[in-house]
Amino acid sequence: MAAVWQQVLAVDARYNAYRTPTFPQFRTQYIRRRSQLLRENAKAGHPPALRRQYLRLRGQLLGQRYGPLSEPGSARAYSNSIIRSSRTTLDRMEDFEDDPRALGARGHRRSVSRGSYQLQAQMNRAVYEDRPPGSVVPTSAAEASRAMAGDTSLSENYAFAGMYHVFDQHVDEAVPRVRFANDDRHRLACCSLDGSISLCQLVPAPPTVLRVLRGHTRGVSDFAWSLSNDILVSTSLDATMRIWASEDGRCIREIPDPDGAELLCCTFQPVNNNLTVVGNAKHNVHVMNISTGKKVKGGSSKLTGRVLALSFDAPGRLLWAGDDRGSVFSFLFDMATGKLTKAKRLVVHEGSPVTSISARSWVSREARDPSLLINACLNKLLLYRVVDNEGTLQLKRSFPIEQSSHPVRSIFCPLMSFRQGACVVTGSEDMCVHFFDVERAAKAAVNKLQGHSAPVLDVSFNCDESLLASSDASGMVIVWRREQK
């Protein structure tokens, strides 16, 4: 869709909450139809000056009809219920080797070399340097990436034709998390502060909600697919986590939080899906055995604030956790026992909640070091380099977005072997989805999708990047279709 027509759709979407307030389904139908008509108009080839004039007049008419825009109440309430506001600035790395709790059974300090992460980066560089000029890096996704992207530019790779579908089953309640199933093109799930989780199927057309998982008595804060997609784990503000069978929607097990606190985030251990890590409002991280429903001995640790974000590295030996006071902690994870050992602490920005952490061992041939992507209510998206085996982080660069109060999330694009750069995608409080090239020195913005009427909280690609899902603070989930070349 032409850029001006997408801006027109964005203006319509932002005023959409004022239309038929008692019949939200009509608002969704309206925005779907507007998207269809604007795509058709984009093909008509109207002069640019005429398109801009239409955009200006449309905005003026909607402003006269509905008055000035205001932030939706549910969006504001959601941001206040999960995270806190920032206060002062601090940026430092702290070492926990002198902490008595970090000492071994005989009182000896841990000695973990920086070897494997440095070795991995060196191997990545060596592989790249041995390749002929212009060739694709031989990662596991290289052939799929080459087939999808060809020799097109990064901007062309991430050009989207418009909305594929809009889901509105959670309308008027925030949807903090949306995720495609692992290695799947058409299965999607999203959780809501209305206390439910929706499982959706995008093919065959029309896209449908297969089932709604109900049981939590308060809002669902996070969920995760298992590696085989047969189960989901969810966390809730009702202080419980639940295990669900994705095939029929049964609740297999309900597990109370060991501290009786609101649960705010969760993630599966990537190698052993019998273990799930959860973070709660009493500042604790717990490793839970979902088969027994009990926490693992030695698998708990305390942070400085409410735990809002969790992420493992690909091998599952390093865990990062972020809290609402601006700190990111790294933990060494014992694969045999599930024990956590606190390693490093980075204060991203004192008092600024860390709302999202995403880890990636290989970004692209231009960005060959293991990396971490962090949202932290600083009006910036932060990209860090992982420099050693203990999860020490070094800031590489930042990208401008709008995020000062909402729990916005971001992701690395799943196919990271393009000939020209690599991309990250993030939500934003400006109601847009933003794409950035991590290696482009100037003008890193690759694309911006407009169409939401509330802050965009989460984004998720399917496995081949043909579809992107985004969710917002008003309960709308939009599935975007990548433009076919």
Residue 133: predicted pLDDT: 39
Q: How far apart are CA 17 and CA 366, in angstroms?
A: 43
Instruction: With both helix axes pointing from N to C terminus, report the angle between 24-42 and 3-15 in degrees, rounded to the nearest 10.
Output: 170
Question: 251 pairs with which residues across the strands?
Answer: 244
Question: Mean pLDDT throughout 346-364?
Answer: 89
| 451 CB-side CA count, 13 A | 33
pLDDT in tens, 396-452: 999 999 999 999 999 998 875 444 568 899 999 999 999 999 888 888 999 999 999
Among 14-23, 156-165, 203-212, which range has the highest average pLDDT? 203-212
Q: Alpha-carbon distance 277 to 231, whole Å?
A: 15
The span from the CA of 227 to the CA of 234, in Å, is: 15
Q: Which of 118-122, 144-148, 342-346, 480-484 has the lowest mean pLDDT?
A: 144-148
Q: What is the pLDDT of residues 132-182, one digit of tens each?
A: 433 334 444 444 444 444 545 666 667 776 889 999 999 889 999 999 999
pLDDT on residue 379: 97
Q: How far is CA 21 from CA 16, 358, 454, in A?
A: 9, 37, 15
The pLDDT value given to residue 282 = 98
Task: Kindly indicate the confidence band of residue 64, based on its pLDDT and cuts at 50, 70 and 90.
Answer: confident
In the chain the first and final C-alpha atoms are separated, in Å, by: 14
Query: What is the model's pLDDT at position 216?
Result: 98
pLDDT at 137: 41
User: Using CA atoms, how far apart are residues 472 and 482, in angstroms rounded to an integer?
Assistant: 20
Mean pLDDT calculated for residue range 82-110? 40
Choice between 40 and 251, residue whose per-residue pLDDT is larger? 251
Percent of the chain with pLDDT over 70: 71
Regarding pTM above 0.85, the answer is no
